[in-house]
Structures are given as structure tokens and as C-alpha cells.
Structure 1
Amino acid sequence: MTDFPDRVTITEVVLRDGLQLEPVIVPTAEKIRLAHRLIDAGLTSLEVGAFVNPTRVPQMADTEEVLTALLPGSAAMLHTLVFNRTGAERAVAAGARDVRFVVSASEGHSKANAGAGVEQALDRIDEAAEILAGAGVRTQATIATAFVCPFDGPTAPQQVARVATRLKAAGAAVIHLADTIGNANPSQVRETVASVRERHPDLELGLHLHDTYGMGLANAWAALSMGVAHFDASLGGIGGCPFAPGAAGNIGTDDLVHLLHREGISTGLDPETLAAVRDELAIAVGHPLSSSLSQVPAAPAPPAR
């Protein structure tokens, strides 16, 4: 099956997934500045933080401040992550317009990441969804360890489809399948996407891919060939889950845009501005970045599409 989309929506996750694994805590003002620069590059969808316990993820302790500074006058979708009722209440109090639920498909990662098994985590999402719906907040969802779990091994596609059923019922408009530890392969991506689509043919799907073993763009290509048109990516390829042993960086937004534009798929992003912001990000985190394009500063960029 080959049904490549003409246009792809990229959600930039560097301010959340990218920074949550960094040893340095980037100042709030710098996060806000980087967000504006990313919007300048053409991004219309960004993850800007997570309403989680700041003692477990101190890099996200300023999510309220970042979100409230960015909301006025912004047309971009500014996503924040929520795992439970408390997170939902914090999101509503901060004026959030767009929230992402996160649930693991595997028991081992769910207990490490959310402190609860899959069923209990889904029950918590149901509570959160009720609060958010009452406040008119738009919701999407991410299914973590949708392909491989660092504790339980490969995740059955049928289990991912079952979790997707619960999240769709909770009101998620788009469900993103996450290769949390970057250990999936294109065959797994195709099989799992097909399994979810078989149960929910009308559901909008996205992919959240990591590049631990260098398979990120190959997995993106497999999803693209099935018509998937929503992708998460992190500028410079930084990031990872602090509760998934072995997790490494995301696919780079710059690398993904380069691939898409070379293949004639539109993103609305300007590669030259992305490259400039990437250089600014490297200064903010204090180390070189890991995307392929960040290793070749003089690489010619194809025109924006």
C-alpha cells in the first residue's frame, strides 16, 4: 500500500521531549524565545511542556509560565502533556487550549512512567478527559511503547489498537504511536498502523519516533507510505524518555523536513530558519546536537514547501 500524503503536519517537541532529558535546565525566558523562533520557522504545532510532578521531571517545572507567556496572540497549537486529573486541572488553570494525553501500551513502561498499570492509567485519562472537555480544551493522545517496551519487549499491535479505542472514546482527535526507545523497524510500524486502522479506519494517526538505532527516518517513510500525515520531531534530534532505559534522541525536525521536501511533500517550514534556531538551541543546551544535518552545517537545503 502506497498512499503518500501531499502535506505533513510536524509537531515540534523539542521544548518538552527534547529538554526533559537534558542535564541543564534551560531558563524559562529562553524556552519562550525559542518557541517564538520555531513559530517564525513556520511551525504551527508545538509541545511546550508537561503538567507532571516537578520533582520527577524538574525540566518541566515551569510549564505554566511558558504556556501563559505564549498563549496571547498565538495561532499555533501549543500542546502540554497530561497524565491524570491533577495535570488536567493544572492545564485548565493555565488556560491551555490543546492537551495531549499520554498512556503506555505496555505494563512495564506504564508502571515506570505513570506509576500505574495500563488499565489504571487509562482510567485516570478518562477522569482528565472529562475535566478538559468541560473546559473546551482540544485533546490528542500519544501511546508510548507502541512498538517495543524496554521492560516487556515487543508490544502486540492488538494491544495498541485496544489502547487506541479507549483514547478515542476519551475524545482524542489524533492518536500518535510512539517508538519510545527507538527500537522499532518499518515492518512493525506498518503492522501496528494497519492494526489500529483496521479497528478505527476514520482515526487520524501520527507517529512519534526516536532514532536510537538509526531507524527513525526509515520508520517515518514506512508510515508515510501508508498515508500517515502527522509526525512529532525534535529540532537537532535531542530528547528521550527519562523513564525508559536506553531511550535516546527523537528524529530531528531538520532531518525530517529535509527528507519530506526532497520528496516533494509540503510542510510549510523554512529549512534555513530551522537551521538558525538549531544553532541557538545548541548554545542553550551547551552541547552539539545529534541530527544528521546538525553534523553538516554547510549542507545545502532544498527550498521550503
Structure 2
Amino acid sequence: MTAVLRDVTLRDGLQLTGKVLPTGRKAEIVRHLLALGVPELEIGSMARPDLVPPMANTLDLVAALTPAELQHCWLWVATPRHVEKALAAGVRNFQYCLSVSDAHNTANIGRTAEASVAAMPAAIRLAQEAGGSIQLCLATSFTCPFDGPVDPARVLAIAADPRTAGATDIVLADTLGQAHPAQVSALVTAVREQTPQRRIVFHGHDTWGMGVANTLAAIAAGAGMVDGSLGGLGGCPFAPGASGNTASEDILFATRPDWFTPASLAAMVGLTEDLLAELGEPNRSRTAEGARSKAAAFEWVAR
């Protein structure tokens, strides 16, 4: 089974950097990734800019993109009001996010998980009336930084709740990167078998070195989309202990979609290196490191 990559550099990737990347530079990254063949992107968030400053120019970025480009782009939202404002700007693909853990949802969004679920039907209605798509994104699907392990039954209950039924996809997020492959496989399988049929998305972090392994386990269990960020950039500002996302380069090197070639990897590695240098962030991608090695006989080494 194959799965498409969604690159989340411009949302989850930038959250912890503390820097606002100029709108024009963000648009350039969107166009570069789409030209390389990356099929889906997460380009920003409706989070309060005083709390997550790198997201301050999200709607400016939306305005800079064409409708055709926006068809490939997703925006993080947490309330019906977020959806309403983003719709007015031209967004049509929404990731409605809440945390399975009440403690993290309160820290991240300022309300209980139940309150977020109760508000979701209004968000779904707004998206559907505009001909858009909306995902149910479940942060802390495996562990919570405040409460520890998360009961899978709680994930299944939210996934099966009639109030979330209008979501086109469900995102299972290993927010802290503490899950292991058997755990990921079990939860993806349970969601696939016990909740309404919709595409399953796996959002992984590489904190404990399991990012690629967990992503491959999710795909094998039925995930149709997986998230990654350039150079493994990222992390949640409201989740102590969370580090970068699984690197997009590493996911692509492992899964080898038809469009991904040595030339596209070399171009992506160059984009990553330039971006991380601008941000003053380390490159956590092992594939990017390998692409700069001296193993000249290997076709994937960038020359």
C-alpha cells in the first residue's frame, strides 16, 4: 500500500523557530515543493500570532497563492471561527485539531477536548457548504506531556463520535514522538476497523528515533497520507519534550513515490539547507546527510 506525503514545514515545522519567515519566502517554498512533486502541503495555522509568532502571516501567504496552488494546501484550525476567517481568505482544506488529552488541549487550545468536539459540527458545516474538505486531527493520540500514556479507547471514542462524522480524513498524531511501530500499527488498525471509513493520516515526530519506522508501520496498517517536514524541522510549543517532525526527505527515501528521483532529492536537500540556514536550525534528516556523503557510486548522492 502506498501513501502520499504531506509536507508540514510551513506550519508544524516553523512553530518553534520563533521567527516569522517573510510571506514571499513562504510562497517560494510552496511553489518549489509543488514543482518537485510533493502532492500535499500544510502551509500555516490560525493560532493566535502572539502565542505562535511564526504563523502571523498565514493569511498573507494564502492571499499570495493561486486557487490551483491552494488545492494542495491545508490550514490548521481549532474553532468554527477559524474556518470562517480562512474560508473568506480562500482556503478550502482544513485540519481541525484537538488533543485527545484534556490537559494538552487546554494548554494548546484553551478548552477541554469535549468542548472542541462539540464545536466541530459547525466547522464541518462551514467547510462543506463552501465545497471544502476538513480533517479531524487528534493530537496526543499516543502520549500526553502532562498525563502520560493515552488510552486508545479515548482515541476511538472521538473518532467514532457522530459529531466528527463529517471529516474526510482522520489524523493520528504522535505529538511527542514517543510511540513505537507496534503501537502505531495497532492504533491505525483499530481506527480503520472500528470507526467510520475515511482516509487515515499519520503525523509523526522523531524525538526517540522512531519517526520513519512509525511512518512505515502506519502505511502498512492502512494510512493513506503521512506528514513530514524538511530537515525534520518542528515541534509543538505547548508540548514539553516534543522535537522535530519526521524528515520529509527520510520518508520519501524510504517510500520512493514515482515522482521522487535522485534529482528531486538533490533539489529538496538544497532547499532544506538554505531554509535551515536562514532559521539557524539544525538539519535532522539522515537522508540529507547521506546525500552529501562522498559515496559517489550511489545514485542518490547529490553531486
Q: Which amino acid aligns with 2:259?
A: G
CA distance in 2, matches of 1:252, 1:22: 16
Q: Deviations over 1:76-112 (max 9, x none)?
A: 5110011002211111111112111101111111111
Q: Superposed, which structure 2 residues align to 1:57-96 within 5 Å?
A: 57-74=52-69, 76-96=71-91
**How far off its partner does 1:267 sit?**
5.2
In the alignment, structure 1 segments of 5+ residues that lack a partner are none
CA distance in 1, matches of 2:144, 2:135: 22
**How far off its partner does 1:297 sit?**
4.1
CA distance in 2, matches of 1:138, 1:70: 18
Q: Deviations over 1:212-255 (max 9, x none)?
A: 01111111122122232310100100101111111100000001
Q: Superposed, which structure 2 residues align to 1:245-260 within 5 Å?
A: 245-260=240-255
> 1:207: which partner in 2?
202
Q: Which amino acid aligns with 1:287?
A: E
CA distance in 2, matches of 1:139, 1:294: 32
Q: 1:99 to 1:243 in 2, by over 3 A?
A: same
Q: Superposed, which structure 2 residues align to 1:31-70 within 5 Å?
A: 31-70=26-65
CA distance in 1, matches of 2:5, 2:299: 18
1:291 equivalent in alignment to 2:285: yes
Q: 1:126 to 1:30 in 2, by over 3 A?
A: same
Aligned to 2:221, what secondary structure does the other structure show? coil
Cα pair 2:136 2:164 within 8 Å, conserved: no
Q: 1:167 to 1:250 in 2, by over 3 A?
A: farther
Q: 1:149 to 1:97 in 2, by over 3 A?
A: same
CA distance in 2, matches of 1:90, 1:49: 13
Aligned to 2:19, what secondary structure does the other structure show? coil
Q: Deviations over 1:177-220 (max 9, x none)?
A: 00001011112112211221231262221100000011111111
Pairing partner for 2:259 from 268, 288, 295 = 268
Q: 1:168 to 1:140 in 2, by over 3 A?
A: farther
How many residue pairs were aligned?
294
Q: Which moved more, 1:162-171 or 1:49-58?
A: 162-171
CA distance in 1, matches of 2:299, 2:47: 37
Q: 1:88 to 1:178 in 2, by over 3 A?
A: same
In the alignment, structure 2 segments of 5+ residues that lack a partner are none
CA distance in 2, matches of 1:170, 1:203: 9
Give the number of the structure with larger relative contact order, counting CA–CA contacts within 8 Å between residues 6 or more apart. Answer: 1
Q: Between the two proteins, what is the percent identity of the paired residues?
A: 36
CA distance in 1, matches of 2:265, 2:129: 39
Normalised by the size of structure 1, how large is the TM-score? Answer: 0.90
CA distance in 1, matches of 2:270, 2:94: 28
Q: Superposed, which structure 2 residues align to 1:135-146 within 5 Å?
A: 135-146=130-141
CA distance in 1, matches of 2:56, 2:138: 23
Q: Superposed, which structure 2 residues align to 1:162-173 within 5 Å?
A: 162-166=157-161, 169-173=164-168
Q: Which moved more, 1:135-144 or 1:158-167?
A: 158-167
Q: Deviations over 1:233-280 (max 9, x none)?
A: 00100101111111100000001111112xxxx253332222222122
1:30 equivalent in alignment to 2:14: no
